[in-house]
Amino acid sequence: MAKRKSNRVYFWFSVLMLSFIGGLLIYFLADQWSAGNRRPGHIDDAENTFSSYPGFGIWIPDDYEVHGIDVSKYQKRVNWKLVRQMKDRGLQLQFAFMKATEGTDIIDPQFARNWKKAKEAGMVVGAYHFFRQSSGGHEQALFFIRQVNLQVGDLPPVLDVETFRGDGVEQFLDEVETWLKVVENRYGQKPIIYTNAGFYNQYLAGRFDNYPLWVAHYQNKNSPRVNRSWHFWQHNEGGRVNGIRSLVDFNVFNGTLKDFNALLIPKKLTAN
């Protein structure tokens, strides 16, 4: 009886091992066939597809027409002519957001030069203000307005709001709303809100849904994880571009080139 039982155990063990090995073989052959039918430098995701751009040093989501970057003093002195001329696999950068101001007393030291040289190189430009919790929204808005002269064809003004500490969140949001209203009144267009997905979901969702949204979200490969429509997606912070010595943020616009052009400031602004 013991020998018969041992033979039976050996038989079923052999069946299981052969099944396991057969399954691995089928999986390997299927994967090899699939790899042979995929484009090199290309991956598929649940919703989006991505392609590798060696010149830029990153993977970039497909199916977007309009691509751009954002810069500040940390990119130092940018050669905007080289930025605009660079192409990789047919992709060319078309717009650049740049930091202009912070709080009520900080002007980005590279802003004036970035604004002038990027325009001369043919980039569509936009200026952003970094919101500081320690200052009032009205005062910060006026400071931004004094430094930024938006013209026809520029992107709408941008409020970068991504930090909050302590208590008084409602007062903080009131000040953010004040900034948005003052700036909208000056330029005649709703400002774009820039933030990261986590901050938006925790503090801003539901209150500012009628403003264009620019979201930073690097971990999620489908799209920014916010439960609303968005205009810009900062999908990577480690890109490389000719004319910029440091790493730079990459962005896509959620729409066609026609949609992008419709977002730009349409008429000459007059001083209030």
- Predicted pLDDT of residue 17: 62
Coil, helix or strand for 198? helix
Q: Which residues contact 12 (CB under 8 A, 6 or more apart)?
A: none
Tell me the domain boundaries of the chain: 1-37, 42-263
DSSP tag of 217 = -
Residue 135 is given by DSSP the state S
Query: Residue 44's pLDDT is what?
Result: 44
CATH architecture of 42-263: Alpha-Beta Barrel (3.20)
CA distance 212 to 238: 25
Neighbouring residues of 249: CB distance < 8 A, sequence distance ≥ 6: 69, 70, 71, 216, 234, 236, 237, 239
Q: What is the pLDDT of residue 47?
A: 60
Cβ atoms < 10 Å from Cβ of 172: 19
CA-based Rg of the chain, rounded to a whole angstrom?
25
Cα distance between the two ends of the chain? 101
pTM of the model: 0.81
Residues noted as catalytic? 70, 162
Tell me phi and psi for residue 201, to 5 degrees: -65, -30
pLDDT at 2: 43
Q: Beta-strand (E) ranges in the chain? A: 42-44, 49-53, 58-61, 67-71, 87-88, 91-92, 95-102, 106-107, 124-130, 158-160, 192-196, 213-216, 232-239, 248-253
* Stated length of the chain: 272
pLDDT on residue 48: 65
Which of the residues in the chain have pLDDT under 50?
1-5, 24-46
For residue range 71-128, what is the model confidence (pLDDT) as tens digits? 999 999 999 999 999 999 999 999 999 999 999 999 999 999 999 999 999 999 999 9
